[in-house]
Chains A and B, each alone.
Chain A
Amino acid sequence: MSHQHQEKVSYWALLKNGVIKENTIFRLVISLCPAIAVTNSVRNGFLLGSAVLFVQAMVNSTVALLRNFIHPRIRIPIFMLIISGWVTVVDMLMAAYARAAYKEIGLYIQIIVAFASILARAEVFASKNKVGASFFDGLGSGLGFLLALVIISFFRELLGKGTLVGLTIVPVKPMLIMILPAGGFLVTGLLMGFFNWIDMRFYGGKGAGGAGGH
């Protein structure tokens, strides 16, 4: 992985890496549980994605800031403390300013603490890099997650409810299965296949990070 070298990587490259090359959902295939649970509407997908984006960027910056003071042996518990701190901030913000949405996806906001993707970025990148780079790495990874959630929920809401962001597009419920968990797996799997296909067809499989082989 390129980011473990010490040479200077541009912030733009870090962003691109998080969104495309190491996309949490479509490339690394982690944090799938929340991605499937909340993506039955674009609004929910967007809100959870934004919460993750915020937490990821802030956690990465905090960890990078404190990386020289954290003893390697107890780094994981410290990371968890930092993560839960930022998750609490998001949780309280949402509870105060977005009550309706919080009632629906509040549980998943709190569960951000346990997202593999957040801890992975802190451990793999932020604990070894400077604050600026870590912030952009977190931003990229969070943006990738947000984008994936919005794409998945776009198809699920359109096909399952006939609406988009609450606006009625088709007056009937075309395919009920799409807003059920089974539809989440179907859409995510098909999109994953689609992005792999794009990667193979137009980039010769070079962009494939972790999930290229399987």
Chain B
Amino acid sequence: MAVAKKEQELLVTVSPHIRSDETVGRIMWTVSLSLLPAFVFGVYYFGPKAVYVTALCIVGSLFSEWLVQKMTGREVTLGDGSAFLTGLLLGMNMPASAPFYIPLVSSFVAVAITKQLFGGIGYNIFNPALIGRAFALITWPRAMTSWTEPTAAFVGLDAKTTATPLGLLKEGGMQKLVEVFGDKASLYTDLLLGHRAGSLGETSVIALLVGGAFLLYKRYITWHIPVSFLGTVAVLAWAFGGKGGLFTGDPLLHLLSGGLMLGAIFMATDYVTCPSTRLGQVVFGIGCGVLTILIRLKAGYPEGVMFAILLMNCFAPMIDRNLKSKVFGLKKEARK
């Protein structure tokens, strides 16, 4: 700049004055990295098909991003990793047995329609990966709910289909679930490690928790949404989840199963689609938790994390508007 030529001249700039070297790209790639442990577990349990499905999702996302940005004449921003992250998340939300067109079409819906048509990164109302998955679930309900059994080996390629723990719970109740997994202790261990049927990246709770801890340590997410989300689910599952009346439910089972960990740590905390105030994030998390339990216990679907987060995405702007922080120096009357 011309002003800065002579050193003694006073340089006047607008805020922000303190910058960090964080960029969108860095955050996106770090979040992708923190998903890696859970993805590795998914590949371990579901075999090469998991890599195949996820790769298709990522390729589809990157291509859709490139296509729409080219068509609309915007700057092509594949390098910022946001399309990659959407593809990765979408892939981890798919059953490993999904036929090739499901990842491709739903990643197009996720990136081209949900994100780019609404204005690109930062402007989308809904979480792109979740819309992609919701689209796939409604469009191909059978393919999206035929779960393969985790084989823990690369040899068993003729994978058997089976039900997810939450599916079993919905149909046969707790008794059936314990029967399938042997006993209660091995049920919890299997759920914790991810040795169960489900979307390929959602099963391993422990790996997801490691990724979440890393994000918390890097301060890329705060505790507000995950803790209020998981806490609400636990309390409500304990209160209403049991057959024997109030407070006989099994909170641990509900916490460990389904896409809850993946949703609460990686999806609900998406910067664009969650509220920006701390209090708002707590409200958002509680809302997600209430809706998740409501769908799990009362609705037709065995799992409700996806729809819960999508529904709360709609409320995020409203929550922000009503719970915005006080503007320093303004009197109460002056605040509108």
Contacts and interface: CB of A to CB of B under 8 A. Distances in A.
15 contacts: A175-B105, A175-B139, A175-B140, A176-B138, A176-B139, A176-B140, A176-B141, A177-B135, A177-B138, A177-B139, A178-B139, A180-B138, A182-B138, A186-B113, A193-B117
Given A175-B105, A175-B140, A186-B113, 12 more contacts: A175-B139, A176-B138, A176-B139, A176-B140, A176-B141, A177-B135, A177-B138, A177-B139, A178-B139, A180-B138, A182-B138, A193-B117
Contacts of B113: 186
Interface in A164-214: 175-178, 180, 182, 186, 193
Interface size class of B (residues with CB under 8 A): under 10
Interface of A: 175-178, 180, 182, 186, 193
Nearest to A182: B138
A172 B140 CA distance: 11
A178 B135 CA distance: 10
Interface in B94-153: 105, 113, 117, 135, 138-141
Nearest to B71: A197
Contacts of A180: 138
Q: Per DSSP, are chain A's interface residues mostly helix, strand or loop, or mixed?
A: helix
Contacts of A178: 139
A201 to B, nearest CB: 11
Contacts of A177: 135, 138-139
Q: Which 8 A-B residue pairs are closest in the complex by CB-CB distance?
A: A177-B139, A177-B138, A175-B139, A176-B139, A177-B135, A176-B138, A180-B138, A176-B141
A40 to B, nearest CB: 14
Nearest to B139: A177
A186 B141 CA distance: 18
Contacts of A182: 138
B68 to A, nearest CB: 11
A193 to B, nearest CB: 8
B76 to A, nearest CB: 19
A128 B48 CA distance: 70
Contacts of B135: 177
Contacts of B117: 193
Nearest to A186: B113
Nearest to A175: B139
A176 B140 CA distance: 7
Scoring A176, A177, A193 by chain B CB atoms within 10 A of each residue's CB, the highest score goes to A177
A175 B104 CA distance: 13
